[in-house]
Amino acid sequence: MRPWIKPWDAEHAAGRITRPLRYNGQPYSGINILMLWASAVEQGFAAPIWMTFKQAHEIGAHVKKGEKGSLVVYANTITKTEDDGNGNDVDREIPFMKGYTVFNVEQIEGLSEIFYASSEPTMTARERDRHAEQFFANTGADIRIRGTRAYYAIDADYIAMPPIEAFRDAESYYATLAHETTHWTRHASRLERDFGRKTWGDEGYAREELDDGFSPAFSIPREPKS
């Protein structure tokens, strides 16, 4: 069997591995770097830029419906004046930490193109196939165009796809989308198919891949957990 070759390239202009950035370009620090790296890998995001729901709203954008945010933390200290028991006021530094939610720019609509910029050279626009587009629309599948990975997330019940422009040709895009749509049919609300699958890479997983006749087997990276 011919080894599978990824038929797309959807990296962000900032590169594959970069320090996570706030919407204003300021880098995150500490444990937030690892947390956002992990979240980006799990969800297949190419962009390193993150912002809160409020920050997106303030610049005229909005988080896509159904998107799940990622946790970041903020640590600092507050100064509290207390009596030392001898009638003297003393200042005591009290450390605290709070968490808040941010979203990757690929989860947000309405931002300036600079936030979504892909790496160069940018592939030319692909001519979409009207019949294929209608077929996939008629399935009712939740298809989210974003990131560098193609996969079906069964827990959240959506298909993630890189943009068609990232593929070497339109046929590769639709073949990959068909492959993921086949996985989409296994959901409990549809065919409820598992082939006895328990963990990634087991016999049930292999049967799911090999029984997919739309595109070469083993073209799917590990399904992210929602």
pLDDT of 143 reads 94
CB 153 within 8 A of CB 169: no
Query: Residue type for 168, please?
Result: R
E strands along the chain, which residues?
21-22, 49-51, 62-63, 70-83, 89-104, 108-109, 143-145, 151-153, 158-161
- How far, in Å, are 40, 90, 102, 195, 208 from residue 71 at the CA level? 12, 35, 6, 35, 33
What local confidence, expressed as pLDDT, does residue 122 receive?
47
Q: Helix (H, G, I), strand (E, B), or coil: what is residue 33?
A: helix
Residues of the chain with pLDDT under 70: 1-17, 117-126, 200, 211-226
* The pLDDT of residue 202: 76
- The pLDDT of residue 42 is 83
Residues 6+ apart with CB under 8 A from 222: 151, 200
Q: What is the pLDDT of residue 212?
A: 56
| Cα dihedral sign, 30-31-36-42 | positive
Q: Are strands 143-145 and 158-161 parallel, antiparallel or unpaired?
A: parallel
Q: Residue 14: which of 53, 42, 40, 43 has the closest Cα?
A: 40
Rg of the chain over all Cα atoms, to the nearest angstrom: 22
**The three-state (H, E, C) secondary structure of 86-105, written as one string:** CCCEEEEEEEEEEEEEEEEH
